[in-house]
């Protein structure tokens, strides 16, 4: 594989993935000589994709639970962009049958009130905790551009925006007990029944998931910015939701809903 040291190779890889994203075609990996050789190059491909996808509203994490890492055959979480163009309004609709991964996830979202620049990494828990200013209820529909994403590996999955797809962000809540998030329950209600999870499913604590992200990005020279929302991985998920109303309830932390068609 190429080490993608020149800008042309990076942009070519980003173009291949973006074409697959927008054309709806699954690809059998990246052509020989274009794929990133390491995670650093994979993030460079991600940021090159911004030229096609447009503005970000934040970041998404995947494989923050042991089950997710096992399913994907990876030994670490994955980080990717949340693009504004794929944000579904609360109460909006998603054509679920067209989604390749056929999965819906309820997630604990956290909004940053201050920057966490690369120069400050590695960050400790207290510093990241202090940088968070709001809880954001979230639902995500992860997606992939690969025929066989389960055997793609960390590098290829990172280049592929860490399985980014559609997502819904609810109303931010600034008055909440951040230290209680690991014990907080979320119920993902679907036409085929409820699925329950807790904040502890994402690296033990959603704040720790944001800390992992800040330190992961800092390793490669990137930072988090005030105003960005991080959705921290699946706390409750299902592949068989059925068509109709879906909503995620977080008790006093709020809820978020949409329609599946």
Cα 1 from Cα 158, distance rounded (Å): 16
Q: Are 51 and 79 a contacting pair, CB within 8 Å? A: no
In a domain, 40, yes or no: no
Task: Work out the pLDDT band at 87, boundaries 50, 70, 90.
Answer: very high
Predicted local confidence at residue 2, as pLDDT: 41
Range of the domain at 167: 55-260
CA distance 49 to 145: 13
Of 3-12, 95-104, 158-167, 211-220, least confident by mean pLDDT is 3-12
| Predicted pLDDT of residue 158 | 97
Q: What is the mean pLDDT of the chain?
A: 95
Is 35 a member of any domain? no
Tens digit of pLDDT for each residue in 188-199? 999 999 999 999
More confident site: 104 or 100: 104
Q: Is residue 80 part of a domain?
A: yes
The number of domains in the chain is 1
Q: Is the pLDDT of residue 7 over 50?
A: yes
pLDDT of 9 = 85
Strands (E), 115-212: 132-141, 166-169, 185-190, 193-198
* Closest to 219 (Cα-Cα) out of 43, 7, 6: 43
pLDDT of residue 5: 53
- Who's near 87: CB < 8 A, 6+ residues apart? 57, 166, 167, 168, 169
Band (1; pLDDT cuts 50, 70, 90): very low
**31 belongs to a structural domain:** no
Stronger pLDDT, 177 or 3, i.e. the higher one: 177
| Residue 220 included in any domain | yes
Say which range, 98-107, 109-118, 186-195, has the weakest mean pLDDT: 98-107
pLDDT at 6 over 80: no
40-79 residue pLDDT tens: 999 999 999 999 999 999 999 999 999 999 999 999 999 9
| Structure confidence by residue, pLDDT tens digits, 21-46 | 999 889 998 877 777 989 999 999 99
Q: Residue 73 belongs to a domain with what CATH number?
A: 3.90.850.10
- Answer yes or no: are the C-beta atoms of 224 and 213 closer than 8 Å: yes
pLDDT surpasses 60 at 3: no
Residue 48 within any structural domain of the chain: no
């Amino acid at each position: 594989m190429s080490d993608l040291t020149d800008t042309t190779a990076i942009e070519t890889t980003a173009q291949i993935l973006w074409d697959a994203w927008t054309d709806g075609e699954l690809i059998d990996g990246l052509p020989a000589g274009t794929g990133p050789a390491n995670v650093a190059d994979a993030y460079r491909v991600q940021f090159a994709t911004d030229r096609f996808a447009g503005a970000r509203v934040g970041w998404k994490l995947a494989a923050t639970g042991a089950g997710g890492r096992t399913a994907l055959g990876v030994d670490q979480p994955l980080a990717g962009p949340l693009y504004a163009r794929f944000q579904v309004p609360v109460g909006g609709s998603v054509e679920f049958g067209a989604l390749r991964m056929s999965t819906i996830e309820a997630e604990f979202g956290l909004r940053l009130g201050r920057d966490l620049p690369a120069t400050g990494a590695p960050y400790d828990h207290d510093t990241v905790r202090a940088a968070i200013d709001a809880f954001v209820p979230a639902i995500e529909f992860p997606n992939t551009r690969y025929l066989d994403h389960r055997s793609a590996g960390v590098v290829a999955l990172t280049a592929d925006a860490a399985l980014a797809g559609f997502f819904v962000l609810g109303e931010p809540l600034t008055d909440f007990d951040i230290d209680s998030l690991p014990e907080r329950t979320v119920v993902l209600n679907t036409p085929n029944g409820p699925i329950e999870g807790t904040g502890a499913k994402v690296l033990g604590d959603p704040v720790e998931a944001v800390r992992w992200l800040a330190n992961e990005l800092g390793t490669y020279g990137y930072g988090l910015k005030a105003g960005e929302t991080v959705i921290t991985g699946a706390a409750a998920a299902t592949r068989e939701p059925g068509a109709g109303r879906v909503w995620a309830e977080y008790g006093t932390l709020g809820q978020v809903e949409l329609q599946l068609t």
